[in-house]
């Protein structure tokens, strides 16, 4: 659904790009904050199984409401916005109930001795998610764009089909009811945890001088709360502290759908044989690589590392995943540096850009007073050499430009405005007279990879030009048409019509992201044209993005899958969903980091990529230090210790055991990091 959500905002609700982007990220963040509520409902009230069922129903209702809001005949634009926002809120709360519970519920199906099987389950679980991602990335845009309904793109179908498929998935899930192992809810865990923490803080603050110091600040709650609860909270806190650096990984990872996609729009997407990739379809590579990499890592790389007698613990895997993600952004930086070579950057304050077209019958020289720009002679009908920076004294400036043609000088008064690009057309209105026509240019490349095209008509008659499905009009005697984007492709039968004649011209390939000016001229044998390339086509192939996707996906396999398993294995039984929700919240905070850096930094894209890579390397070092001092524990061992204590109390084997402190230091430990 998210694959077409931004397009839905822009083209159906008619929002601008800034508002669409803001709502998209707000929805994404909400989807990763609501798992906290879902985890609390599961652990404190309904249990994981019922929580998944009930909130899946909310999820389906949200999709249905969203689909109804996408039907043009249902109400006006206000109704569409209200239904769309209501649907998104329901979807966010529905997914909040599903996300933390499904993985934890799957982990519950394995006994404590089935550690390897549980690890494989999390890998298969992650593969399933990405298999769904591959299918949805292919199918949903087809439902939206290739199927037409209500006179346009069928967003109602694109939102409705996922709702129907979710109903089927829910029925299949419920059908296995009798086969599942279901852990009962443990009561209102969060309230108990908060009260215990609050009491420990107050007790330490008021009695720290009167009573002896304790090994952990939470031990100050022993007077009121059971030792087991205190030990479980300590376990959760130790993991949550490790989570603090993790959002930085997601800040990089989630840019596949934003910054990397925008990078792809400025690249060549033609793979030959008529197969042209869309910019947003490149994201599918991540999901495809996940399906390939998981078995490769599980059956190849990890066993090979073990054969080298290197102990690859979960936290070491996660640290390695961070480094791989940083390498992905280093690769993206290299690609970006080469991509921007075909992009004309907008001029800064107190500067303009200008290029000159010489439509005279011989070469000319153009001089700007006090400037050395465009000092070389310009040949007749020569392609412009590119935009030249023109300094200004303020927001705008009047330049008296001197044009020298056939030994005669002509002067033109031209006003330039800062942060604007211009084309200056020089032509003859009548013998011995030079005309300077200054036109504002559009220099921002299309986000879809389309080409921009305009026509200059030197004919004495008005001309209507048809390029594909787009119509251009160029008035007679050097009239200039609108600058319109056209889909990339071959245009061999372009029709040019005057009020009395029809001509056909072959424009050839209008390539990705290029800007063209076509000059139409009347000759004795018909209409001739000259195609000039104002802005270079995207000459870096999109295949150069493959290395960065390989690095980020390898990092995801080592970081994300391992993190899911680690969160489950280190959580006590009563708080597994809560810790899973904490893991998901690191994704939400990662999105917040992207918004802060991307919107607030105001730097060039390649430097922003490099900044993110450097930040993640620094964070990975901090995480590695924290992980070094982390000692793995077995939550099931905590159950066993307290169960033994309870049995001993029942048989009265030892009164002293009632007061024996059970701490994390008493539990079986594994190696650090």
The strand pairing partners of 523, in sequence order, are 526
- Please list the ranges in the chain whose pLDDT falls under 70: 17-18, 21, 145, 186-188, 190, 208-210, 431-432, 577-578, 581, 598-602, 635-673
The answer to whether the beta carbons of residues 498 and 465 sit under 8 Å apart is: no
For residue 573, the SS3 value is helix
Cα 10 from Cα 447, distance rounded (Å): 13
Q: Determine which helix (DSSP H) or strand (DSSP E) holds 453, and give its type and residue range.
A: strand 451-457
Give pLDDT, residue 135: 83
Name 565's Cβ contacts closer than 8 Å, sequence gap at least 6: 118, 119, 122, 314
Spell out the long-range contacts of 20-23 with Cβ–Cβ below 8 A and sequence spacing 24 or more: none
Give pLDDT, residue 505: 93
Question: Which pTM does this prediction carry?
Answer: 0.79
392: left (phi over 0), alpha (psi -120 to 50) or beta: beta
70: left (phi over 0), alpha (psi -120 to 50) or beta: alpha
The answer to whether the beta carbons of residues 66 and 157 sit under 8 Å apart is: no
The answer to whether the beta carbons of residues 623 and 322 sit under 8 Å apart is: yes
Residue pLDDT, tens place only, 290-328? 889 988 998 899 999 989 888 888 999 999 999 999 999
As a residue count, the chain comes to 673
Tell me the residue ranges of DSSP E strands in 348-442: 351-358, 364-367, 388-391, 396-405, 408-417, 420-428, 434-441
The strand pairing partners of 528, in sequence order, are 521
Alpha helices in 405-471 (DSSP H): none
Give pLDDT, residue 645: 54
Q: Which two tokens stand for residue 194?
A: 């908060």
Residue with tokens 């931004």, as numbered in its chain: 6
Residue with tokens 């409705």, as numbered in its chain: 160
Give pLDDT, residue 640: 62
C-alpha distances (whole Å) from 371 to each of 66, 348, 366, 374, 390 are 58, 18, 11, 9, 8
Cα 246 from Cα 260, distance rounded (Å): 21
Domains in the chain, ordered, with CATH? 1-187 (1.20.1250.20), 245-342+540-672 (1.20.1250.20), 351-535 (no CATH)
The answer to whether the beta carbons of residues 586 and 246 sit under 8 Å apart is: yes
Give pLDDT, residue 187: 66
Closest residue by Cα to residue 5 from 285, 280, 200, 313 = 280
Cα 321 from Cα 616, distance rounded (Å): 10
Give pLDDT, residue 351: 94
Give pLDDT, residue 65: 94
Closest residue by Cα to residue 34 from 587, 448, 506 = 587
Cα 253 from Cα 672, distance rounded (Å): 27
Give pLDDT, residue 517: 95
664: exposed, middle or buried (Cβ count in 10 Å: 0-12, 13-18, 19+): middle
Cα 612 from Cα 606, distance rounded (Å): 10
Closest residue by Cα to residue 611 from 598, 620, 624, 621 = 598
Give pLDDT, residue 641: 59
Cα 619 from Cα 323, distance rounded (Å): 10
Q: Which two tokens stand for residue 179?
A: 């086969």
For residue 645, the SS3 value is helix
Cα 9 from Cα 219, distance rounded (Å): 52
Q: How far separated are the first and last CA of the chain, in Å rounded? A: 39
For residue 205, the SS3 value is helix
The answer to whether the beta carbons of residues 328 and 260 sit under 8 Å apart is: no
160: left (phi over 0), alpha (psi -120 to 50) or beta: alpha
> What is the sign of the dihedral through the CA atoms of 185, 187, 188 and 192?
negative
Cα 427 from Cα 409, distance rounded (Å): 14
**How, if at all, do strands 420-428 and 351-358 pair?**
parallel
For residue 523, the SS3 value is strand
Cα 23 from Cα 97, distance rounded (Å): 21
477: left (phi over 0), alpha (psi -120 to 50) or beta: left
Residue pLDDT, tens place only, 38-61? 877 887 788 889 999 999 999 999
Cα 352 from Cα 373, distance rounded (Å): 12
Report residue 643: phi and psi, to 5°: -65, -40
The answer to whether the beta carbons of residues 267 and 540 sit under 8 Å apart is: yes
Q: How many of the other CB atoms lie within 10 Å of CB of 393?
A: 9
| Percent of the chain as helix, strand, coil, to the nearest 5 | 55, 20, 25
Tell me the residue ranges of DSSP E strands in 322-382: 351-358, 364-367
Q: Which two tokens stand for residue 159?
A: 């939102």
Give pLDDT, residue 347: 92
Give pLDDT, residue 127: 80
4: exposed, middle or buried (Cβ count in 10 Å: 0-12, 13-18, 19+): buried
DSSP string, 585-633: HHHHHHHHHHHHHHHHH---HHHHHHHHHHHHHHHHHHHHHHHHT-B--
Spell out the long-range contacts of 134-137 with Cβ–Cβ below 8 A and sequence spacing 24 or more: 134/284, 134/287, 134/288, 134/291, 136/1, 136/3, 136/162, 137/3, 137/281, 137/283, 137/284, 137/287
Give pLDDT, residue 432: 65
Residue pLDDT, tens place only, 316-375? 999 999 999 999 999 999 999 999 988 898 899 999 999 999 998 889 999 988 887 777
Closest residue by Cα to residue 542 from 593, 612, 488, 590 = 488
Closest residue by Cα to residue 581 from 214, 190, 137 = 190
Helix, strand counts (H, E) of the chain = 19, 20
């Amino acid at each position: 659904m998210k694959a077409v959500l931004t397009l839905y905002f822009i083209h159906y609700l008619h929002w601008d790009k800034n508002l669409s982007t803001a709502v998209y990220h707000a929805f994404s963040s909400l989807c990763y904050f609501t798992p906290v509520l879902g985890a609390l409902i599961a652990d404190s009230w309904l249990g994981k199984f019922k929580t998944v069922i009930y909130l899946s129903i909310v999820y389906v209702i949200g999709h249905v409401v969203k689909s109804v809001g996408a039907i043009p005949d249902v109400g006006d634009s206000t109704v569409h916005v209200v239904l769309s926002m209501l649907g998104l809120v329901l979807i966010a709360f529905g997914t909040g109930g599903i996300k933390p519970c499904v993985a934890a519920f799957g982990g519950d199906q394995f006994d404590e001795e089935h550690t390897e099987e549980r690890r494989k389950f999390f890998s298969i679980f992650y593969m399933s998610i990405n298999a769904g991602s591959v299918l949805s990335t292919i199918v949903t845009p087809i439902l939206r764009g290739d199927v037409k309904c209500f006179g346009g793109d069928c967003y109602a179908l694109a939102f409705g089909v996922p709702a129907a498929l979710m109903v089927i998935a829910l029925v299949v899930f419920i059908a296995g009811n009798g086969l599942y192992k279901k852990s009962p809810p443990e009561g209102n865990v969060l309230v108990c945890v908060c009260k215990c923490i609050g009491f420990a803080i107050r007790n330490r603050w008021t009695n720290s001088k009167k009573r002896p110091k304790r090994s952990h600040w939470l031990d100050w709650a022993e007077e009121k709360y059971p030792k087991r609860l205190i030990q479980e909270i300590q376990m959760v806190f130790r993991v949550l502290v490790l989570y603090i650096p993790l959002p930085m990984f997601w800040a990089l990872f989630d840019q596949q759908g934003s910054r990397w996609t925008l990078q792809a729009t400025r690249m060549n997407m033609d793979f030959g044989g008529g197969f042209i990739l869309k910019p947003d379809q490149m994201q599918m590579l991540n999901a495809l690589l996940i399906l390939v990499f998981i078995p490769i890592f599980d059956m190849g790389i990890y066993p090979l590392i073990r054969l080298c007698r290197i102990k690859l613990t979960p936290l070491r895997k996660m640290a390695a995943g961070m480094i791989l993600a940083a390498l992905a952004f280093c690769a993206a930086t290299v690609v970006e540096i080469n991509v921007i070579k075909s992009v004309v950057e907008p001029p800064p304050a107190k500067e303009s850009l200008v290029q000159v077209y010489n439509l005279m019958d011989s070469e000319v020289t153009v001089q700007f007073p006090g400037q050395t720009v465009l000092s070389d002679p310009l040949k007749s009908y020569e392609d412009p050499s590119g935009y030249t920076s023109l300094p200004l004294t303020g927001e705008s400036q009047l330049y008296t430009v001197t044009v020298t043609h056939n030994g005669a000088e002509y002067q033109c008064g031209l006003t330039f405005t800062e942060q604007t690009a211009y084309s200056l057309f020089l032509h003859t209105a009548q013998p011995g007279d030079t005309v300077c026509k200054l036109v504002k240019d559009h220099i921002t490349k299309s986000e879809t990879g389309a080409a921009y095209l305009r026509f200059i008509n030197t004919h004495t008659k008005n001309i209507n030009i048809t390029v594909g499905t787009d119509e251009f009009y160029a008035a007679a005697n050097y009239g200039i048409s609108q600058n319109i984007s056209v889909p990339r492709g071959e245009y061999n039968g372009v029709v040019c019509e005057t009020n009395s004649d029809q001509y056909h011209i072959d424009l050839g390939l209008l390539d990705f992201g290029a800007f063209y000016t076509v000059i139409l001229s009347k000759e004795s044998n018909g209409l001739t044209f000259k195609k000039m390339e104002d802005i270079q086509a995207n000459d870096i192939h999109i295949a150069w993005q493959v290395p960065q996707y390989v690095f980020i996906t390898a990092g995801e396999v080592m970081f994300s899958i391992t993190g899911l398993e680690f969160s489950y294995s280190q959580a006590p039984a009563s708080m597994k969903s809560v810790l899973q929700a904490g893991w998901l919240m690191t994704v939400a905070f990662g999105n917040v980091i992207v918004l802060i850096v991307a919107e607030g930094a105001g730097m060039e894209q390649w430097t922003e990529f490099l900044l993110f890579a450097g930040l993640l390397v620094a964070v990975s070092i901090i995480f590695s230090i924290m992980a070094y001092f982390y000692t793995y524990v077995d939550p099931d061992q905590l159950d066993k210790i307290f169960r033994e204590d309870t049995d001993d109390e029942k048989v009265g084997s030892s009164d002293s055991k009632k007061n024996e402190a059970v701490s994390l230091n008493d539990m079986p430990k594994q190696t650090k990091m």
